[in-house]
Amino acid sequence: MKFENKFISYTFENNKIYKIINIFGFKIKHEYSDYLYNEKLCSKLGIKTLLFLRNDGIGDFIMDIPYIKHIRHSRKFNNYKIILAGNQNIIEIAKKYLNEYIDAYYHIDNKEPQKNLIKKYKKMSFTTIINPTDAKINYDMEIIVKYATAKEKICHNGYFSRIQLKSKDPLIPEVFNNYTKVIDTGEDIMPVKDRCKIFFEKLLEENIPHTETLKELDIPDNYIVISPFTREPKRTYSKQNFTKIIDYINTELKLPVIIIGGKNEIEAGKSIRDNCKVPEMVFNLVGKTSLSESILYIKNAKLLVANETGTVHIAQNYGVKTIAITNGSYIGTFWPYKEEESYVSYIYPENFEDCFDEKNIKGALIDYDINKIDYTKVTSKISEIIDNCNLLK
């Protein structure tokens, strides 16, 4: 597959495009590394491109993982080259679990000056851009959509509508006008997992089976994972409470604990371990493992105990029993999972139901104090799950 003029020609070989410069009979061949960002060039070679945007939280992206496989094999997009654009964490997960379905990765760098990004995006062109994000506006993705060229730009609108956010946010006055198609999944509250399924079924115009778990991988087990951190203080159970929970696991259950977290929590992870009664049974991996390695530790754990955040959704994907400590934020969207398919037990503050009814806070981030939860509620639930499921056998 090739096209050419007198001096320059392009050829597509082994999934790569080469630029050939003909000067006085001499041919110089260069690999054209960014060809997937040039729809005009791709079109001449019969190549269609799909830019899939995902630049928010890990928990959000986990919900999309099974559907990228379906995009690759769908009637609508099976002959497209798929480029995943996202932050470092999302690209790391995708390379570990989706590499066979993705042709290229584009790292969204939100530290680069916006004027430089706009100049760069104006030079990019694709056949299709898909932004599956619901319930929020991500500026870094919206800039790409606004300035990059594409014949088709598709986004997601549903409950916790981005239209509502748009009306309150003067920085993006007409965000949906940047798209050629808006897929509406309805304004009723529902689990994000179910909403993802509706979005991708409408996108692909075909029925999709219920989501599959992540790829199986093997590492040693017989430990409990503790994930004590979130990006939002309102949703973060205290270090002191997690230390008491770890002491219970070490002394009463005689099980080791692995603490996981990012580089921003290194000091907090060290503080938790240093204050434990049996620190030699506590493996502090905070800031010491890659995201994909942390996923492996969760997958093979006897149990996960965590704040209600992305780690809970990873565990659910693997069928790992989980205790999620929550102040009630995002109830109805990210939690709870349907009882018949859930591996997660939720613990929230006393009298939370009264606060919920009074403030009508369903589906939102709330201020309810997560540390009103007594740590013994968590340790009792740990004991109950282990007894009922014989997890120590």
Tens of pLDDT, residue by residue over 158-189, are 765 555 555 555 555 467 789 999 998 887 77
Q: Map out the domains of the chain with their CATH numbers.
A: 2-33 (no CATH), 40-204 (3.40.50.2000), 224-389 (3.40.50.2000)
Query: What is 255-311 written as a DSSP string?
Result: --EEE---GGGHHHHHHHHHTSS-GGGEEE-TTTS-HHHHHHHHHT-SEEEEESSHH
pLDDT at 36: 85
70, 76, 106, 71: which is closest to 88 by C-alpha?
Answer: 106
283, 299, 282: which is closest to 220 by C-alpha?
Answer: 299
Q: What span, in angstroms and rounded, lies between the C-alpha atoms of 320 and 343?
A: 6
186, 193, 255, 195: which is closest to 226 by C-alpha?
Answer: 255
Q: How confident is the model at residue 34 (pLDDT cuts 50, 70, 90)?
A: confident
Range name among 33-37, 75-79, 154-158, 231-235 with the lowest pLDDT average: 33-37
Q: What span, in angstroms and rounded, lies between the C-alpha atoms of 254 and 167?
A: 54
pLDDT at 389: 67
pLDDT at 1: 46
Q: How confident is the model at residue 114 (pLDDT cuts 50, 70, 90)?
A: confident
Range name among 39-48, 159-168, 294-303 with the lowest pLDDT average: 159-168
Looking up tokens 């006055």, which residue turns up? 173
Q: How confident is the model at residue 66 (pLDDT cuts 50, 70, 90)?
A: confident
pLDDT at 2: 46
Q: What span, in angstroms and rounded, lies between the C-alpha atoms of 285 and 269?
A: 8
pLDDT at 162: 53
pLDDT tens digits for range 230-280:
888 888 889 999 999 999 999 999 889 999 998 889 999 999 999 999 998
Q: CA quadruple 179, 185, 186, 190: dihedral positive or negative?
A: negative
Q: What span, in angstroms and rounded, lies between the C-alpha atoms of 234 and 232?
A: 5
Q: Please, are residues 81 and 104 in contact by the beta-carbon 8 Å criterion? A: yes
Mean pLDDT, residues 186-197 taken together? 80
Whether 155 shows a pLDDT value over 70: the answer reads yes
Whether 322 shows a pLDDT value over 90: the answer reads yes
pLDDT at 89: 83
Range name among 48-57, 251-260, 360-369 with the lowest pLDDT average: 360-369
Q: Strands 16-23, 26-31: parallel, antiparallel or unpaired by DSSP?
A: antiparallel
DSSP bridge pairs for 227: 306
pTM: 0.59
